[in-house]
Structure 1
């Protein structure tokens, strides 16, 4: 069955008003104003701020040089950073690692470009964008750069310009040309000792469009040049690389798409590219480690032995294919109750645990829901709602107390309805500029609610609401047909996880199907690219989609949630959650155990809100829910616990983080976890605002903590 199919009953209900203005302008975007614009994609810097921060296609990064550097070029440059060039932070393990910025190895430019040059973008899609350089904002493009995630070459398409190839690293030698069919090949050695190739493909029938070394920063080509120039770096010590580049020179990707199917507990998803240039040739593209691990059948044979390091995702491998097919086994039996790889979904608890759960739940469900759920933050409001929803699952599905659950459900519906009716403290609006549902709080303060108005963190924020709605519908299916409940929740789903791009929402705003995880950063310029600091909330959002798909009978949505979880389990354990066997991240960093904040250009063992170790580690734990045991292996949790929290150190940690750490402990020591939450002198201050003692008791008991 197909995975990516349109959703029903979507679009903002009438109580979510439309707003035809946003604090961020559509800078330099040449697509129609009606076109949906992805807000969290890799190319965001091209339409934000000064437009000259980098974008990462991996393993390359690209940027508009904008008159800076040794070359003073106005062209578009490509960089590739070796691990030997990384800067590492203090400590053992290192607190961070970062690739240096501003080392622009090769720049594709034109003599006509100057300080009046304008950068525009068009064809903004999920995996690609065209960046265009023009003499001025009033003129048409002189050079177009199709930027596609994983592209094998950096390509400039010239539309009648005096071609320049420049560098900020200085040219040492220029060799060539060599004739390859109808194309010419040149080789340059830079003063850093690195070798780059460039291939010239004329669309005007030049027999030999000469490129001449004019200075140590500039190679000049012919005037009025029409055609393409493609650039690639030669990896050191890899003799096959040059022949692969020669083989594929002339073709380049212009856009990408993903599609997939699911059946019998597995799913396949395909990344496929449309081509430009010599379209009779096969593309070479760079695959990340998690792609290679899940390649299916013949596509795996297309992987070469050529590799280049990415900045934060390990070694990229060159693959000769116009499309990749990846296959993942799905965890289809994960439901509302705790789940482990060994015992699967747990629905039966010891009587002792049931008594304890009902006792604690009676008190927690007697609380006033409103002060904990009607806040001036979608994030914290959602966490409060989800907390009470999880209590209801513990009471109804595990502790066999439908009467108590029914009383709590009535209160939860009332609290949730406040958001459906859009009467919360900071109502939502539908933004007609970037096509999404955003908080009104950020119109006066960009940082309000963690930047929700600027499209930060939507999967984090709205995932909690989708989970809560799934629980309500699970306990009372008739709720789906009341008022605009279904439509309102579907709107949130479409905002951060739409399976298709339409006139209302972009495709998959948050989850990047190339990287295999979500990006949290929205419309904020960032020198180090997109980032994310909470793997667990990313997985929880996918889990919420899965459950919501199940309760509304949308099999494709449920399967997409399943597939996203499967991919995330793979990518998190490769890139974010590092046990001692990790070979992806630098050896001097992996003993941090979690990355902290993973950017496209750096990894920083930190958070945006605290330097405390329980926060840095714990933000990758919350919320402790059924997917936790899928994404957090026992080996990883054991190593993390022993490094930071064992031997009583956890008991020195104040507040709600102590409860989070003890709940996470249930993955490897459920008895110690259960005993902590079952103790008669339990202090409620040990609970985070999005956590309940009821759920933690049920979770630890389900994992074997109460015998």
Structure 2
């Protein structure tokens, strides 16, 4: 969750440090504090989890409210929705009630009655629910009191809720009297319909469901396990298929990924335990960003969700294959139309660059991001002195953030062991007390550090350990990391990140600025490459390209297949677990609703141009709804122009040429706006149909001419091959640009 304000003037400024008895822990040349600075609000001292859950507990997940509260807020696993309360686990099918006519995408409610509540025959009220375990996209909830125990396990894509019970029998309380269409009183398995939704109730062998004819069913004689499944229909064949997998409880979920010939190959694994029999595998539903890129065998059966249609498959795994979008650390010099004008822009920025006050982690990050972009522009122009000014400023500011001196409170990072997190001071938008937005904020720091490291490897060795610690806070690649959770902000199965640390909302977790999430993964790719950490680089590739497909499907719906037909807008400002909102946390202005998912514009923003026709449709809607139409010298008009350049660079070039001092969003510069627009105008739009053997490339297409750009971070020449047959040698330590007619 991000509560970003429009004007940086509203952000507090660090003046004189407040002295505290800080304990500083050295990490390379840097350090962090273990004492909470006074400016940072305290976090809860306890997490709602059982003793079985070891290590740093994830936050920023779809189920995180479970850890922050005594019970939970609504948990949107998709296709099912759940909520924990004293009576047990309420379960519903939100996909049955989706509409978009309000201007937002709304799903059906979960509520404390749901379609039914899974409870315990001997315990009417549990004092709490706790996190009992988790894997990459499944979670286990523990309800325990006085010898009565109920655990329920569920996850993304699964139509099943798996249960285990002690000290009593499973009790299912329906919100309405259900219709039983398969089975009878005393059977171990039943097919029922409640509120129009079909479910299978699968008791253990030899058990019997009783209470038929009422709204409360008890699974008497349970052997301690059971499952309940949402059925796509009530056909006998469907019921038989679900029965086959009903007692194969999912006990672990994992993901593996690799890059191969310009593609990201990802495999999602389900580990199951046969509670009876010897069966393997399970049933699972794929999101649109998965089934559109997968050769998984689909049953033809579907569920509705606020993300679009989910398609059913079976087995122990499935794989996806996504084209890797190549990225550059800077745009080509060939994209600068007027060197004198660009030099004037850079000179003005360099003159204004001086270390004064330090801002909170978000606005400090935006400033560092601007400096990193300006460094790249100055570099390709050969303006080494100005580049040195920008890099020196980045270095100075980062070193102050990356070191926690005794008695200092800001700028620094402090570590909270209870929650396994690194918090920058000053915090903002709940980055301290709610653990919000860490990937948004820290992504700017990581990218800026990568820019310094690209030019100064010795600096990276000296300060790299502390940069790596910040990276571990948002995206630790180690599952056994003792200090931080694995991939804190990223939802592996949903394919995108979550911004709220606690997810304490009725609509689940949320993310507004998908583009700032993408900026973080861009930073990971660059830092991993410049430091030789190929595992981290490849994780950045996985995160960036997976979230890219999610942005295309869920924030933009570029193919027009996921938003409800009655939804009147062409994009979302915020994606929630249980809805899609055409809104932001900070403004109802249409520039902001669209633009918050574009900024910061960097060389990595090229991914937004993979579907030029969508860009055209998006821009047309904004102009139609803007208060001043196509008068872009107001609001975030600069961002609207830059976005439209991905489809119509000629229009954008005309605007920037006629308005050299146009108004800017707070994180933008005229220098990069000019470079971005004229690169697209002079070299062409992003040719997304071409991939390469090297992740740091761009291919531009104008008329029939292609321009290939590759950045080689290494000290030796690199041969780069493209999927259209073109091949080029990328010179060491620089950006090499070739055209198809060379």
TM superposition score category, shorter chain reference: 0.7 to 0.9
- Residues 619, 29 of structure 1: alpha-carbon distance in 2 compared, 3 angstrom cutoff: same
Cα distance in 1, alignment partners of residues 254 and 262 from structure 2: 23
- Given the alignment, which residue of 183, 196, 200 partners 2:199? 196
- Residues 665, 588 of structure 1: alpha-carbon distance in 2 compared, 3 angstrom cutoff: same
- Given the alignment, which residue of 343, 360, 364 partners 2:345? 360
CA contact (8 A) 1:197 1:234 kept: yes
Q: Could you say what secondary structure the match of 1:108 adopts?
A: strand
The reply to whether residue 504 of structure 1 matches residue 483 of structure 2 is: yes
- Given the alignment, which residue of 507, 514, 522 partners 1:528? 507
1:342 corresponding residue in structure 2: none
CA contact (8 A) 1:241 1:306 kept: no
- Residues 261, 631 of structure 1: alpha-carbon distance in 2 compared, 3 angstrom cutoff: same
The reply to whether residue 611 of structure 1 matches residue 588 of structure 2 is: yes
The reply to whether residue 63 of structure 1 matches residue 83 of structure 2 is: yes
1:235-250 mapped onto 2 (5 Å cutoff) = 235-236=232-233, 240-250=237-247
1:220-619 mapped onto 2 (5 Å cutoff) = 220-222=218-220, 225-236=222-233, 240-276=237-273, 277-278=275-276, 280-296=279-295, 300-301=296-297, 303-310=298-305, 312-331=306-325, 333-338=326-331, 346-349=332-335, 352-371=337-356, 374-375=358-359, 377-397=360-380, 399-422=381-404, 425=410, 427-440=412-425, 448-482=428-462, 485-501=463-479, 502-579=481-558, 581-589=559-567, 591-619=568-596
What is the deviation of 1:637? 1.4
- Given the alignment, which residue of 13, 36, 56 partners 1:36? 56
**TM-score, normalisation: structure 2:** 0.81
- Residues 129, 578 of structure 1: alpha-carbon distance in 2 compared, 3 angstrom cutoff: closer
Q: Could you say what secondary structure the match of 1:463 adopts?
A: helix
**TM-score, normalisation: structure 1:** 0.85
What is the deviation of 1:379? 0.8
1:90-239 mapped onto 2 (5 Å cutoff) = 90=102, 94-102=103-111, 104-134=114-144, 136=145, 139-140=146-147, 142-173=149-180, 175-177=182-184, 184-190=188-194, 192-202=195-205, 206=206, 209-213=207-211, 216-222=214-220, 225-236=222-233
- Residues 441, 161 of structure 1: alpha-carbon distance in 2 compared, 3 angstrom cutoff: farther
Q: List alignment gaps of at least 5 residues for structure 1.
A: 1-8, 67-73, 339-345, 443-447
CA contact (8 A) 2:31 2:466 kept: no
Cα distance in 1, alignment partners of residues 539 and 66 from structure 2: 30
- Number of aligned residue pairs: 647
Moved over 6 A (4+): 9-14
What is the deviation of 1:665? 2.4
CA contact (8 A) 1:349 1:701 kept: yes
- Residues 313, 416 of structure 1: alpha-carbon distance in 2 compared, 3 angstrom cutoff: same
CA contact (8 A) 2:497 2:517 kept: yes
Cα distance in 1, alignment partners of residues 35 and 122 from structure 2: 41
2:598 corresponding residue in structure 1: 621
Q: Could you say what secondary structure the match of 2:328 adopts?
A: coil
Cα distance in 1, alignment partners of residues 541 and 329 from structure 2: 14
CA contact (8 A) 2:68 2:502 kept: yes
CA contact (8 A) 2:637 2:664 kept: yes
What is the deviation of 1:361? 0.3
Q: Could you say what secondary structure the match of 1:273 adopts?
A: strand
For the aligned residue pairs, the C-alpha RMSD in angstroms reads: 2.8
Cα distance in 1, alignment partners of residues 263 and 158 from structure 2: 28
Q: Could you say what secondary structure the match of 2:563 adopts?
A: coil
Cα distance in 2, alignment partners of residues 117 and 214 from structure 1: 29
2:20 corresponding residue in structure 1: none
Cα distance in 1, alignment partners of residues 553 and 587 from structure 2: 25
Q: Could you say what secondary structure the match of 1:294 adopts?
A: coil
Q: Could you say what secondary structure the match of 1:584 adopts?
A: coil
What is the deviation of 1:671? 3.3
Q: List alignment gaps of at least 5 residues for structure 2.
A: 1-24, 685-742
